[in-house]
Amino acid sequence: MTITVLTDAQIIDPSRGIDEIGSVIIKDGIIEAAGAGAHNQGIPEGAEIIDCRDKLVIPGLVDTRVHVGEPGSEHRETIASASRAAAAGGVTSFVMMPDTTPAIDDVALVEFVLKTARDSAVVRVYPAAALTKGLAGEEMTEIGLLSAAGAVVFTDGRRTLANTAVIRRALTYARDFGALIACETQDKHLAAQGVMNAGLLASWLGLSGIPREAEIIPLERDLRLAALTRGRYHATSISVPESSDAIAAAKARGLDVSAGISINHLTLNENDIGEYRTFFKLSPPLRTEEDRRAMVEAVRDGTIDIISSAHDPQDVDTKRLPFSDAENGAIGLETLFAAALRLHHSGDVPLPRLIDALSTSPAKRYGLDAGTLKVGARADLAIVDLYEPFVFSKDRIVSTSKNTPFEDARFQGRVLQTFVAGATVFKAD
């Protein structure tokens, strides 16, 4: 029997609505007590004691949008390396996108992800399954069989479905299994030639722009189909206030819809592109500062449910190119929480709401056994110093790929230790 006690910590657990000073008692990987009341339960004989005075203890983060190169592009990232990067960022569970080579569109590939994760990952990895075979956007996959095999969500990853009949059938079919359909919302025709946000800055830089309508039009279409079918729908990454307005209106009508946003779009804007810095080339593109401020407010008021890292490793061959030619995407697992704390330190988003969007809310929406410190839950959690400053230099990067928009960024707040089932999977130097 192993017992670990985290003492005198500030404990934030949005699943129970608590923010209080207390202790966490972990017995054989399970939370036995967590909160102010645990102070009075004493410390069992032989327990490992970790002094968490002036530290924060939170449920492990749950990242719902993580691209991994395995299978097919292991030189960019493997499930094992992604899991180590996740642990370094306080992420104890992540959902792996299906746009690999081959795409995860059958039961054998879902089982491959689960087995590889079981054999090599230090955090929990949940496979997303392709919504259409080969991500081609036409023939629907076997949602029932894939759900039974362990797929937790259905999505075509980076690709936005163009065929409205397929989306309608998928939402209808998935409803019978209680499955969640998650979609990117970028119109491929409106966004085809664009490489950054459309506007004055794009004109100055001589780059073609992606209009906000490229996101709004597919999203509004999807929301209408969600209303028609009464299916469960999640917009994976929105970036403009018109999108959050549409999500808010859909929720007000009682639809089972939700929205996510990447931490990049909450902490960066189009001006960060600077002198054609390709690490800031993302999809959707970074928007204006006014847009960013509006999206932060949408997180604060709960219109946007989930914050993800949008972890998308790229190697030098695809990223060290002229801006127009470089691939979209950036790594983000290990900077997710540190970047999110900028919203706390600026006073824009209360800490409990921030933890909720990073942990409890994604776990609940995706039906995962995570995102809580309640008694009886698995002890997946992190210890955080809210105020420790550090510079995220390139030599600190755990991911196999190094394309981060936060290279040499100054952060305040650091994950000190990450636990999965009560075992330490990351400890800061």
Identify the pLDDT of residue 93.
Answer: 98
Convert the pLDDT of each residue in 130-166 to its tens digit. 999 999 999 999 999 999 999 999 999 999 999 999 9
Beta carbons of 336 and 310 less than 8 angstroms apart: no
Q: What is the pTM of this model?
A: 0.97
Convert the pLDDT of each residue in 337-393 to its tens digit. 999 999 999 999 999 999 999 999 999 999 999 999 999 999 999 999 999 999 999
Give the model's confidence band at 317: pLDDT under 50 very low, under 70 low, under 90 confident, else very high: confident
Report the chain's terminal Cα–Cα distance, integer Å: 28
Residue 333's Cβ-count burial label (10 Å; 0-12, 13-18, 19+) is buried
Identify the pLDDT of residue 347.
Answer: 97
- Smallest CA-to-CA distance from 312 within 336, 345, 339 is with 336
Q: In what order do the strands lie in the sheet with 124-127?
A: 61-66, 91-96, 124-127
Convert the pLDDT of each residue in 176-208 to its tens digit. 999 999 999 999 999 988 999 999 999 999 999
CATH 3.40.50.300 holds for 60-371: no
Give the model's confidence band at 45: pLDDT under 50 very low, under 70 low, under 90 confident, else very high: confident
Give the span between the Cα atoms of 258 and 253, in whole angstroms: 13
Q: What is the architecture, at CATH level 2, of domain 3-57+378-397+410-427?
A: Roll (2.30)
Sign, CA torsion 140/143/144/146: positive
What does the domain layout of the chain look like in residue ranges? 3-57+378-397+410-427, 60-371
